[in-house]
């Protein structure tokens, strides 16, 4: 009886396999003949929107692989930050040169999602003690770091004969600072949670809000404007920065401990915190956006509300580390690389004026020397000099928001197409050479510390055991300890 039942089961399985094979073959035949299997007579636009052609799928896969390989090759062969190779891949394969990438806006969207998750992580990783130390100085660095390059860009534009409105718009392109570039480089060097890393985060987020306020004020240069359109963005940005930051740091931790985490087991606090953080993100992004502040500030404040919880930080990092890496690759390749009008860079005048505009970033670099002396060592020497250079190089990298300001100026005819290309050329220079200078600075000081430690170890091994135990440490200067 069991043998008969087994033969029936095997016969049923074979019949099912044959039916599945026939169905798959019919599907393949219909696809080859140009019909969509299962929807041959369905012309509904909503259904069509969910389909993708094989050619587009293949091109998208090739693009993602090229972005990854370019970043790795630039890091291993040229010893430059991977983002340089990722931006280069986006420039070469993007819509302004090869036009190989299908649906570019989709990749730009992925990149912007990566930037949001990165700022969320930056908020979670904030050290409150360090934030209190750098908060006021971060505001000063952000304001001066925006105003100085804007003023230099304005002066260069006026010297080139650009009218007043065009000069203001051109100068405004050099104000934003890229939080993504600076934070990505500092994170790889394990300095994102250091005092100088927190200073850069604070300054970059505030800088983004300043850039949004400046863009809103550019509307006053074209068409009708009102007092509300000028005042609201400024008041909203200050309100979210001051009151939102204070509530996130001083009020939310105690409220969450009492009314939220108390209802979960201790081992589930990390997962519960991450879930609530994303609910905050969903609410804070539209709140800041429609209040005419920056939605990136909403992402940062959402993470900042959980900055005191190590379990939430560990859970977020473990769940989103790899995803964030890939989304940031799309940010550099698409959100930045696709914006570059590479075809216009063959004009010598465009390139020359672009190099001239690059002088604006000297103002951003100089603001790095406002960094506090966290290590109480000799000013502008040793560890303090390192922090100044790190801050300056981090601030010198232009944000993707600079492209938004430049496109706005071009679309509103505030400056010419050729001047727009020169401005973009200068922005691209900052996004390539600023992170390179930052990485070289980090590598130099890392090598210096390793050499000093190796020297200490070699001296210790040459001494008898008793001398090694009794000899006091020679590294007593805070600068040497750093």
Domain that holds residue 421: 106-450
Scan for tokens 């050329």, then name that residue: 425
Note the pLDDT of residue 44: 47
Element (H, E) at 6: helix 2-32
Domain membership flag for residue 65: no
φ and ψ at residue 473, rounded to 5 degrees: -65, 135
In angstroms, rounded to a whole number, what is the distance separating the alpha carbons of residues 332 and 101? Answer: 15
Total structural domains within the chain: 1
Report the residue count for the chain: 482
- CATH assignment at residue 440: 1.20.1530.20
18: left (phi over 0), alpha (psi -120 to 50) or beta: alpha
Scan for tokens 């709140």, then name that residue: 287
In angstroms, rounded to a whole number, what is the distance separating the alpha carbons of residues 119 and 399? Answer: 14
Domain membership flag for residue 72: no
Tokens at residue 419, please? Answer: 């001047």
Domain membership flag for residue 473: no
Domain membership flag for residue 462: no
Domain membership flag for residue 81: no
Domain membership flag for residue 51: no
Domain membership flag for residue 201: yes
Please, what is the Cα angle at 109 between 104 and 111, to 5 degrees?
A: 95
Note the pLDDT of residue 410: 82
Domain membership flag for residue 27: no
- Model pTM score: 0.67
User: Tens digit of pLDDT per residue, the chain (482 long)?
Assistant: 434 434 443 443 444 443 443 433 343 333 333 433 333 344 444 545 678 899 999 999 999 999 999 999 988 887 777 888 898 999 999 998 889 999 999 999 999 899 899 888 878 887 777 667 666 777 788 888 888 998 999 999 999 999 888 888 889 888 888 777 777 777 777 777 777 887 887 787 777 667 767 766 676 666 666 677 777 777 887 888 788 888 988 899 899 999 999 999 999 999 999 999 999 999 999 998 888 777 888 888 899 899 888 899 999 999 998 999 999 899 889 988 898 888 888 889 999 999 999 998 888 888 888 887 777 777 877 788 888 888 888 888 876 678 878 877 887 788 888 898 999 899 888 888 888 888 888 888 877 766 666 666 666 566 555 554 444 444 444 444 44
Count of C-beta atoms within a 10 Å radius of residue 58 = 11
């Amino acid at each position: 009886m069991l043998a008969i039942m087994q033969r029936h089961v095997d016969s049923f399985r074979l019949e099912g396999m044959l039916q599945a094979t026939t169905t798959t073959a019919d599907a393949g035949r219909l696809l080859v003949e140009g019909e969509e299997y299962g929807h041959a007579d369905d012309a509904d636009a909503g259904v069509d929107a969910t389909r993708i052609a094989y050619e587009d799928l293949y091109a998208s896969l090739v693009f993602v692989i090229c972005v990854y390989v370019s970043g790795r090759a630039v890091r291993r062969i040229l010893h430059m930050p991977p983002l340089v190779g990722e931006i280069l891949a986006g420039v070469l394969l993007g819509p302004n040169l090869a036009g190989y990438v299908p649906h570019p806006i989709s990749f730009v969207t992925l990149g912007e999602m990566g930037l949001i998750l990165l700022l969320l992580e930056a908020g979670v990783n904030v050290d409150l003690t360090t934030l209190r130390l750098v908060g006021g100085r971060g505001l000063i660095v952000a304001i001066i770091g925006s105003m100085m390059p804007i003023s230099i860009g304005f002066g260069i534009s006026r010297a080139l004969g650009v009218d007043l409105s065009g000069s203001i718009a051109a100068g405004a392109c050099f104000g934003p600072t890229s939080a993504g570039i600076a934070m990505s480089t500092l994170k790889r060097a394990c300095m994102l949670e250091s005092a100088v890393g927190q200073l850069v985060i604070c300054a970059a987020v505030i800088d983004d809000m300043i850039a949004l306020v400046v863009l809103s004020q550019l509307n006053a240069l074209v068409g009708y404007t009102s007092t509300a359109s000028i005042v609201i963005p400024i008041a909203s940005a200050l309100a979210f920065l001051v009151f939102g930051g204070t509530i996130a740091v001083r009020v939310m931790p105690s409220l969450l401990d009492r009314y939220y985490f108390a209802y979960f087991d201790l081992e589930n606090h990390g997962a519960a915190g991450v879930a609530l953080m994303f609910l905050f993100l969903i609410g804070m992004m539209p709140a800041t956006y429609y209040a005419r502040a920056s939605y990136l500030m909403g992402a940062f404040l959402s993470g900042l509300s959980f900055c005191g919880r190590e379990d939430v930080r560990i859970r977020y990092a473990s769940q989103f580390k790899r995803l964030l890496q890939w989304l940031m690759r799309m940010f550099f390749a698409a959100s930045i690389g696709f914006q570059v009008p590479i075809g216009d860079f063959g004009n010598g005048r465009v390139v020359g004026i672009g190099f001239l505009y690059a002088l604006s970033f000297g103002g951003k670099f100089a603001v790095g020397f406002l960094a506090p002396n966290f290590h109480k060592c000799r000013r502008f020497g040793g560890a303090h000099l390192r922090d100044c250079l790190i801050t300056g190089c981090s601030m010198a990298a232009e944000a993707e928001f600079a492209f938004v300001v430049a496109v706005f100026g071009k679309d509103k005819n505030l400056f010419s197409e050729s001047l727009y290309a020169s401005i973009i050329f200068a922005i691209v220079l900052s996004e390539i050479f600023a992170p390179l200078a930052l990485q070289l600075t980090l590598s130099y000081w890392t090598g210096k510390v390793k050499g000093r430690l190796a020297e200490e170890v070699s001296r210790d091994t040459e001494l008898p055991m008793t001398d090694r135990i009794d000899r006091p440490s020679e590294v007593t200067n805070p600068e040497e300890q750093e």
